[in-house]
């Protein structure tokens, strides 16, 4: 099993008598998941199908001769089983989907996924998650083997995250702290710091101060990732956020400090909240991945 996939669900065992009828017909794993059917006793024969139901492969499986992992969207059907069959189905997903599928978290932020593809390394990174919320990004980073310090003000969110960390036996990789980022002072040294959709909830003046502290405590060659709401002439912010960035404001805080912008944009995005007509509110978001000078 590739380390980029993680088991999100294992179903109860089936026998020849209890095998779901749907598995004997054309069938695919749930969206975005791979499937592994393990034969524990007896035998079965499975066919893989193409889009026109033509057989592309036939597998005769037993405990000694396992079935291959079925990738997402691979159609298949079981054509025969022995009377003494016992089998069990497990579903696997990418690490970025695991928190959502296993624990109902929001999916890992897309910019966090991109950042860790950009900074891929064998060595565990020291990560600071500023405003971790329920921990969707913290869990992803810890599952990738990194050491994460997770900060948030909401005790209920932190307690939920602590439960997940315990269930996943990640206590040695994740430190959880309740803090008010308006008062928090960054300390220690980190290889990457992230703040996704957090800074608009901070009091005016705090984001600039916090960014200067983030820069001062990032290891040489390390990274800062920030995604934050803006208010611009073409997309003025109508939400009562205490703080929003202006055009070019976030990027200047880094270029003026001598950092390299690995990625920066001020693209239009949508909030989960809706306007009076039921449409999702659109704003520009400043998205920055910057590298500290070496």
For residue 2, what pLDDT is reported?
A: 46
Binned at pLDDT 50, 70 and 90, residue 273 comes out as confident
Distances in Å between the Cα of 166 and the Cα atoms of 4, 106, 159, 170 are 21, 19, 11, 6
> Measured in whole angstroms, how far is the alpha carbon of residue 266 from the centre of its chain?
22
The CATH code belonging to domain 105-291 is 3.40.50.150
Encoded tokens for 18:
């209890």
Q: What angle do CA 141, 287, 33 make, to 5 degrees?
A: 45
Do the Cβ atoms of 243 and 206 come closer than 8 Å? yes
- Read off the pLDDT of residues 229-260 as tens digits, 9 standing for 90 and up: 999 999 999 999 999 999 999 999 999 999 99
CATH code 2.60.120.10 region(s) in the chain: 5-94
Binned at pLDDT 50, 70 and 90, residue 40 comes out as very high
pTM of structure:
0.89
- Read off the pLDDT of residues 158-213 as tens digits, 9 standing for 90 and up: 999 999 999 999 999 999 999 999 999 999 999 999 999 999 999 999 999 999 99
What mean pLDDT value characterizes the chain? 95
Give the C-alpha separation, 262 to 221, whole Å. 12
For residue 120, what pLDDT is reported?
A: 67
Do the Cβ atoms of 178 and 158 come closer than 8 Å? yes
pLDDT > 70 fraction of the chain, expressed in percent and rounded:
98
The CATH code belonging to domain 5-94 is 2.60.120.10
Give the C-alpha separation, 275 to 116, whole Å. 34
Better-scored residue on pLDDT, 45 or 4: 45
- Read off the pLDDT of residues 144-155 as tens digits, 9 standing for 90 and up: 999 999 999 999
- Read off the pLDDT of residues 277-292 as tens digits, 9 standing for 90 and up: 888 999 999 999 999 9
For residue 1, what pLDDT is reported?
A: 42
Nearest-Å Rg of the Cα atoms of the chain is: 24
Binned at pLDDT 50, 70 and 90, residue 217 comes out as very high
CATH code 3.40.50.150 region(s) in the chain: 105-291
Give the C-alpha separation, 46 to 77, whole Å. 6
> Measured in whole angstroms, how far is the alpha carbon of residue 207 from the centre of its chain?
24
Binned at pLDDT 50, 70 and 90, residue 56 comes out as very high
- Read off the pLDDT of residues 100-142 as tens digits, 9 standing for 90 and up: 999 999 999 999 999 998 776 667 999 999 999 999 999 999 9
Do the Cβ atoms of 101 and 72 come closer than 8 Å? no
Q: What share of the chain is helix, strand, coil (3-state, %, to 5)?
A: 20, 35, 40
Q: In what order do the strands lie in the sheet with 55-61?
A: 55-61, 44-49, 75-81
């Amino acid at each position: 099993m590739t380390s980029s996939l993680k088991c999100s669900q294992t179903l109860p065992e089936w026998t020849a008598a209890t095998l779901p009828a749907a598995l004997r017909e054309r069938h695919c794993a749930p969206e975005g998941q791979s499937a592994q059917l393990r034969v524990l006793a007896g035998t079965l024969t499975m066919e893989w199908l193409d889009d026109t139901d033509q057989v592309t492969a036939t597998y005769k499986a037993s405990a000694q001769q396992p079935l291959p992992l079925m990738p997402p969207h691979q159609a298949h059907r079981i054509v025969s089983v022995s009377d003494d069959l016992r089998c069990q189905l497990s579903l696997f997903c990418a690490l970025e989907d695991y928190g959502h599928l296993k624990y109902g978290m929001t999916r890992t932020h897309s910019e966090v996924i991109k950042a860790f593809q950009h900074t891929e390394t064998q060595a565990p990174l020291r990560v600071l998650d500023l405003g971790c919320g329920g921990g969707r990004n913290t869990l992803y980073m810890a599952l990738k083997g990194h050491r994460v310090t997770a900060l948030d003000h909401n005790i209920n969110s932190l307690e939920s995250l602590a439960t997940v960390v315990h269930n996943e036996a990640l206590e040695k990789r994740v430190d959880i702290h309740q803090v008010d980022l308006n008062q928090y002072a960054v300390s220690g040294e980190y290889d990457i710091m992230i703040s996704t959709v957090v800074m608009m909830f901070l009091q005016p003046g705090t984001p600039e101060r916090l960014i200067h502290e983030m820069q001062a405590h990032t290891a040489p060659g390390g990274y800062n990732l920030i995604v934050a709401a803006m208010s611009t002439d073409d997309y003025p912010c109508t939400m009562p956020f205490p703080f929003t960035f202006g055009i070019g404001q976030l990027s200047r805080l880094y270029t003026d400090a001598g950092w390299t912008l690995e990625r920066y944009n001020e693209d239009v995005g949508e909030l989960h909240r809706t306007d009076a007509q039921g449409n999702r509110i659109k704003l520009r978001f400043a998205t920055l991945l910057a590298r500290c000078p070496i």
